[in-house]
Amino acid sequence: MQNFDYCTPTRLIFGKGIISHLPEVMKPLGKRILVTYGGGSIKKIGLYDKVMELLKDFEVFELPGIQPNPKYDPSVLNGVRMCKEHNIDVLLAVGGGSVLDCTKAIAAGAKYDGDPWDLISYKVKAKAALPIVDILTLAATGSEYDAGGVISRTETNDKIGYIDPLLYPVCSLLDPVYTFSVPKRQIAAGCADAMNHVMEQYFVEDTTLLNDGFCEAEFKSLMINTRKCLENPEDYTARAEMMLCCTYGCNGILALGNSESGWPCHGIEHALSAYYDITHGEGLAIITPRWMKHILNDRTLPRFVKYGINVFGIDSSLDKYEIANKAIEETYKFFESIGIPMHLRDVGIDESRISEMAHHIAVNEGLDHAYAPLSEKDIEKILMDSL
C-alpha cells in the first residue's frame, strides 16, 4: 500500500429539508454573500425563492447564467469582479457541478490581484480563497466534496481541472429532493461521470481489497439506482443513494493507498468538451469502453477479470480474456441502455479534429504516466475507435 495524506474538511449536511440549516451555516462566514447559479433550473423548482427567503438577513448579490462546461470568460471573470467590487465575504453556489466549479475558481480569483487564469493554469499558486458553501442540484461530479473545479477557456480550447485544497467547500447541503427535476439525459450523464470517476480509481496497479470493495459497491449502486431514477424521477431513496455515490466518487477516498491512475478517460474527455462543448458524462461513456479495449493486455487482464466477475457477475470459470471482453461489452451495454449516445458522431464530433485533439491531450494531460500509459498515437486510436 502506498503512503497517503488525506483530509477533506467539507461538512456534509444530507437529507430531506436540510436547507433550513443554511442561515446557521452562512452566519459565521460573513454577511455579504454572492449567490451563483446556472441557467434557471433553480428558479423552476422553487429553490431560488427558498434560498432568498432563508438569506433575508444577509446582503445578497447574484451571479446567474453559469453555463455547463463553465467558461472563464465571462463567468469566472464576472464573478471575481463582483467579489472585489462588493467586498464579498462568502460564495454560495446553487446548482450542478458547473456552477460549483465556476464558483471555486471565483473564490480563488477573488483573493488574487492578477489575472485569475494564472491560478487556473497553475502559473501561480493561490495563497487564499473565499469560503464556499453549496447547495447541490445534480448528482454527478462530486465537486461538492472535492478540491477541484474544471474551467473552459474557449479561445484556446483549454478545459483545465484546477485543484487546490483551498477550494474544498466549507459545507455542502445535499437534499436529494432538489435532484427530482434533473432530466433523464442528465441523470444518465451524471451516472456515467460518477461510474468513470470510480473506474479511474479502480483500474490501477496497486490496490487493496478494501478499495476494490468500495469501488465495486459504487459501480453496482450507481447502475441500480440510475435505472430507478430513470423509471421514477421522484424515488427519494434512489436519488439519495445516487447522490451519495457521486459525492464519494471524486475526492480520492476510494483510492487511498492505491498507486497513481493518471485519470486517462478524463484527460481525453476534457479535450472533447473543450473543443465541442459536449456533455462531460456522455463523452466519458463513449470513450470508456474503447479505452478499456485498447489497454486490455496480459498485464491489465486481472483487473478486468475482477471487474467482470464482481460487478457484472460473469462466470468465473470462463477463459480470462472472455471474461474481460464480456465485462467491456457489459459496460458499453449499460451506458447504451440508459440512453447515452455511444458514438462521437452522435454528439456532433467527426474525424476532422481528432489528430489535433490527440496532440493537445498528449501535450497537456501527461497520459504517458497513466496506469496504462497512452502516447499521442494511442489517444488518436481511442478517439478514432469512438467515432
Among 92, 93, 96, 304, binds ligand NZQ (CB under 6 A): 96
How many CA atoms within 13 Å lie on the side-chain side of 244? Answer: 13
Which of ligand NZQ, Zn ion, none does residue 97 bind (CB under 5 to 8 Å by kind)?
A: ligand NZQ
Amino acid letter, residue 194:
A
Which of Zn ion, ligand NZQ, none does residue 324 bind (CB under 5 to 8 Å by kind)?
A: none
The continuous run of DSSP H or E covering 61 comes out as strand 59-63
What is the DSSP secondary-structure string of 122-167?
TSS--S----EEEEE-S-SS-GGGSSEEEEEEGGGTEEEEEE-GGG
Which of residues 176 and 283 has its CB atom nearest to Zn ion in the complex? 283
Under 8 Å CB-to-CB from 76, ≥6 apart: which residues? 70, 102, 105, 106, 109, 116, 120, 151
Amino acid letter, residue 249:
G
Does the protein bind ligand NZQ through residue 39 (CB under 6 A)?
yes
Under 8 Å CB-to-CB from 267, ≥6 apart: which residues? 361, 365, 366, 367, 370
Cβ distance 132 to 167 under 8 Å?
yes
CB burial class (10 A; 0-12, 13-18, 19+) of residue 247?
A: buried
- Cα pseudo-dihedral 219, 183, 47, 86, rounded to 10: 90
Which of ligand NZQ, Zn ion, none does residue 101 bind (CB under 5 to 8 Å by kind)?
A: ligand NZQ
How many CA atoms within 13 Å lie on the side-chain side of 138? Answer: 30
Over the window 190 to 219, marking each residue x when it contacts Zn ion by CB under 5 A and - when it does not, the resulting string is ---x--------------------------
Over the window 41 to 70, marking each residue x when it contacts ligand NZQ by CB under 6 A and - when it does not, the resulting string is xx--x----------------------xx-
Which of ligand NZQ, Zn ion, none does residue 258 bind (CB under 5 to 8 Å by kind)?
A: none
Which of residues 141 and 179 has its CB atom nearest to Zn ion in the complex? 141
Which of residues 285 and 296 has its CB atom nearest to ligand NZQ in the complex? 285
Find the helix packing angle between 264-276 and 184-202, rounded to 10°. Answer: 140
CB of 380 to ligand NZQ, least distance (A): 22
CB of 197 to Zn ion, least distance (A): 6
Binding to ligand NZQ in span 136-195, by CB under 6 A: 137-138, 140-143, 146, 148-150, 178-179, 181-183, 186, 190, 193
Strand partners, 14: 174
Which of Zn ion, ligand NZQ, none does residue 74 bind (CB under 5 to 8 Å by kind)?
A: none
Binding to ligand NZQ in span 269-288, by CB under 6 A: 280-281
- CA nearest 347: which of 266, 288, 265, 275? 275
Which of residues 29 and 271 has its CB atom nearest to ligand NZQ in the complex? 271
Site for Zn ion, rule CB under 5 A: 193
Site for ligand NZQ, rule CB under 6 A: 38-42, 45, 68-69, 95-99, 101, 137-138, 140-143, 146, 148-150, 178-179, 181-183, 186, 190, 193, 250, 266, 280-281
